[in-house]
Amino acid sequence: MTMSFSWFQPVLNGTNGSVLGRCSNRSLMAAACLLFVAGSFLKPAPLIAAEPPRATVFERADFVLSKSTRPPDDTAEWQPVSLPHEWRHTSPGKNGPGWYRIRFDLPKAPDRSRAINLLHLRSQGFEVYVNGNYVGRSRDYIASRGRFGTAIYLNAPPGLFRAGDNVIHFRMNASSESIAMHGLGRVTFGNARDIRRITVMANELGFAVHRSILAMAFTAGLITLFLWLARRRDNVMLWYSVTCLSWFLVSLLRHVLRWSDLPLLNGVLTTYMTYGLVPPAVILCLRTAGLRWPRFEAALGAFLIVEVTYPLWLAGASDLWVLLAWDTINTIVLLTGVAIMLVAPKRTLKWPYLLQVTALLLMAVLMFHEVMRYLGWVDIESYVIRHFHVPWMLLAIGAAIFERHVVAVWRMERSNLELERRVAEKALEIEAYHDERDEVMRQQALAHERQRILADMHDGLGASLVALLRYVQSQRPDAHIEQRVKEALQELRISIDALEPSEGDLGAVLGNIRYRLEPLLEPAGVHLEWEVAELPQIEALEPTAVFALQRIVLEAVANALKHSGASRVRLSAQAAPGGGVEIRIEDDGRGFDPSQLHLGAGLRNMRARAERIGVQIDISSRTGSGTIVRLFIPHKLLVISDDKASGKPDPRAVRDLVPAPGVA
């Protein structure tokens, strides 16, 4: 009974078997993600079984050389062989038809269709018989497609099988040439639905892999093209984009024309799909490593042209010999690129360049794997993995190019940050310089003005007062005049002390006050106790603040001399626990009751001066127990203008300290 026979050809040769297809698809999808491939480009195989298909794989058969057009009977010289079987090993020098026989038992006659799957078609033609019944015939596969490694599907109705012993015969026309791989491969048998799923899964996974590779090439080329448009000085990025996009367009065109009757054009397109990325990969790897060898690059370009156009001028050559030659030469080209990448650079290779070396080496292994298949060094039905060199090339060179781009952007950003930092530092330096210059100019102006005032006061008012005092003393005038002259002279000396630079040293200011007080207190019979510890620096201790502190201390001492009748005055100064300085002025006089005393002008002036410069003042006294004046000076005084501090001085603070005439 003759039944129709159908078979499917995957788009990508050799991507058979669900295990390899799934693993390859995952690895390629991961690589595509690294190249930012949009998820819409990738579509997983739609027919993934919920449970693995049930099938029987035959790896043993019987073989006999026979020109019979019908299956030979049991009397023929059948020889047991292992599948896959190669004629060149068991029948050297013999060409022509041969028969394979596979026997198997079925527990009962099937009620559903059965099917056969052959992983690799490696014959120029074959016929299939089930239990002596003709099932179908293939056409001349090599002449029409030019490639081995295609899985086929054969459907047989259940009526051809019976319970018990069954036999399937394959009649093949093959060659035993040393390069030929003709023979029968492993045969998978089972329910038609399960076998169809196995075949379609292999074909779908192969198509998904091919589509993923096309999407990777298109996306990588498009992204690098946009990057090159933004940075057109990088020619490596341009050539990488041209290489990826050209391979994508050629592969797409080959996919569209695969069923057309254009053998020469399809041969050129197929050759470019298979080997067209090898010379550009080597050239781009050298370029990204900083190596430019014009003659070597020109030689690789010429080799690419010869290789791609060979179907036009070498149409009569044996396909297998030509493929073996191209695979071998491309393997040598890739290994040469690896050697150059490892030896030629004078600097340490970065990780992207080491990734390129690894990719070139892996591409060489994938190419040479086909050579080993042709020569029989590996399983004849091992998967065709040569086409997987494309994603590795895209990933390796793309990573190097993107690393260069990212490094360039990073260096630019770092340069901008460094420039901004330097500009900020220079701005701060300029501001600090201007502030320092302004401060220096202010200090110079202040010092100049201080020197001018001192000179004027010393040479003018001071000299006049001294002369007037001598005149009064020599003429013995009214004692009141002499007292007023001494007060004016003392006031002048205190004002001059306030103009002396203090640099925040409160101890020096108090020292000047002590120097002025001691000659005046001793004649009055008042003992001065001085206890000044090491004091911290006080900020903003300008002449106006010094003048105000002098007035406050002089007023406190003047009150002790004039009103309390004290015989001892104690002035102590020490650092306060919370920062700043505490000054205490104590006397052993008769004191007063603050609640019974109206606030006089002297106490009001003391509080007003303390408030203007930010000093806290506390006056405590009790009748018969003396008086204590406490001053708390913060670490930074208030800066007051000269007009606020230059009000009329309280002459009583000086007059009460100046001894009356006749008191030596």
pLDDT digits (tens, 9 = 90+) for 300-354: 999 999 988 888 887 655 566 777 888 899 999 999 988 988 887 766 667 777 8
Paired tokens of 11: 């788009």
Residues 6+ apart with CB under 8 A from 552: 606, 609, 610, 615, 617, 631
Note whether 94 and 185 are same-domain residues: yes
Inside any domain, residue 436: no
Residue 235, burial from CB neighbour count under 10 angstroms (0-12, 13-18, 19+):
exposed
pLDDT band at 490 (very low <50, low <70, confident <90, very high): low
- Asked if omega into 84 is within 30° of 0 (cis), the reply is yes
Report residue 104's pLDDT band, with 50, 70 and 90 as the boundaries. very high
- Cα–Cα distances (Å) from 174 to 71, 242, 509, in that order, read 17, 43, 120
Mean pLDDT of 82-103: 84
What whole-number percentage of the chain has pLDDT above 90?
14
Residues 157 and 278 in one domain: no
Instruction: Work out the average pLDDT over 410-414.
Output: 81
Query: Cα separation of 23 and 208, whole Å?
Result: 12
> In whole angstroms, how far apart are CA 432 and each of 429, 435, 445, 533?
5, 5, 19, 35
Domain end (from 402, 425, 440): 402
The yes-or-no verdict on residue 553 having pLDDT over 90 is no
- Considering the domain architecture, whether residues 195 and 272 belong to the same structural domain is answered as no
Is 153 within a domain? yes
Residue where a domain terminates, one of 358, 378, 402: 402
Q: Is the pLDDT of residue 21 over 70?
A: no
User: What is the predicted pLDDT for the residue at 527?
Assistant: 87
Residue 484 lies in a domain: no
Q: For 236, phi and psi rounded to 5 degrees?
A: -60, -40
pLDDT, mean over the chain: 76
30 and 165 together in one domain: yes
Q: What is the CA radius of gyration of the chain?
A: 55
Verify that 178 and 128 share a domain, yes or no.
yes
CATH number at residue 113: 2.60.120.260
Indicate whether 266 and 121 sit together in one domain. no
Question: Which pLDDT score, from 0 to 100, does residue 29 have?
Answer: 37
202-245 confidence digits (pLDDT tens) = 767 666 777 888 888 898 888 888 888 877 777 888 888 898 89
- What is the pLDDT at residue 497? 65
Note the pLDDT of residue 648: 45
Which pTM value belongs to this model?
Answer: 0.53
Question: Domain range holding 558?
Answer: 506-655
- Residue 255 and residue 144 share a domain: no
Burial 204-221 (b: 16+ CB within 10 A, else e): bbbbbbbbbbbbbbbbbb
Q: Using the predicted structure, report yes or no on whether residue 612 has a pLDDT greater than 70.
A: yes
Number of structural domains in the chain: 3
**pLDDT the model gives residue 317:** 57
What lies within 8 Å, CB to CB, of 324 at 6+ separation is 179, 370, 371, 374, 375
Q: 269 and 397: one domain?
A: yes
What pLDDT, in 10s, does the model give residues 189-198?
998 888 888 8
Q: Does 304 share its domain with 273?
A: yes
pLDDT at 8 over 70: no
pLDDT level of residue 411 (50, 70, 90 thresholds) = confident
Q: What average pLDDT does this structure show over 102-116?
A: 90
Task: Give tens-digit pLDDT for 374-383.
Answer: 777 887 777 7
- Per-residue model confidence (pLDDT) at position 13: 34
Is residue 104 a part of any domain in this protein?
A: yes
Residue after which a domain boundary falls, among 380, 402, 424: 402
Q: For residue 31, is it within any domain?
A: yes
- My answer on whether 374 and 397 are in the same domain is yes
Calculate helix-pair angle for 506-521, 543-559, nearest 10 degrees. Answer: 30
Mean pLDDT of 437-465: 66
Average pLDDT over residues 422-446: 85
User: Which pair of structure tokens corresponds to residue 402?
Assistant: 């993107």
pLDDT at 103 over 90: yes
Q: Which residue has the higher pLDDT, 548 or 43?
A: 548
**Does residue 222 belong to any structural domain of this protein?**
yes
**287 assigned to some structural domain:** yes
What backbone phi and psi angles, to 5 degrees, belong to 118? -110, 125
Distance CA 477, CA 466 (A): 15
Q: What is the pLDDT of residue 631?
A: 92
Residue 69 pLDDT exceeds 70: yes
Judgement on whether residues 109 and 27 belong to the same structural domain of the protein: yes
Check residue 488 and give its pLDDT.
66
Look up residue 160 and give its amino acid: L
Q: Supply the CATH number for residue 604's domain.
A: 3.30.565.10
* Same-domain status, 309 and 193: no
| pLDDT for residue 528 | 86
Does the residue 148 lie in any domain? yes
Summarize pLDDT for 135-175 with one digit per residue, the tens.
887 653 333 343 444 567 888 889 999 999 999 999 988 77
For residue 201, what are the contacts with CB-CB under 8 A and spacing of at least 6? 18, 21, 45, 47, 48, 49
DSSP line for 366-435: HHHHHHHHHHTSS-TTS---GGGHHHHHHHHHHHHHHHHHHHHHHHHHHHHHHHHHHHHHHHHHHHHHHH
> Which tens digit of pLDDT belongs to each residue from 628-664?
999 999 988 876 554 444 444 455 444 555 544 443 3
pLDDT of residue 349: 66
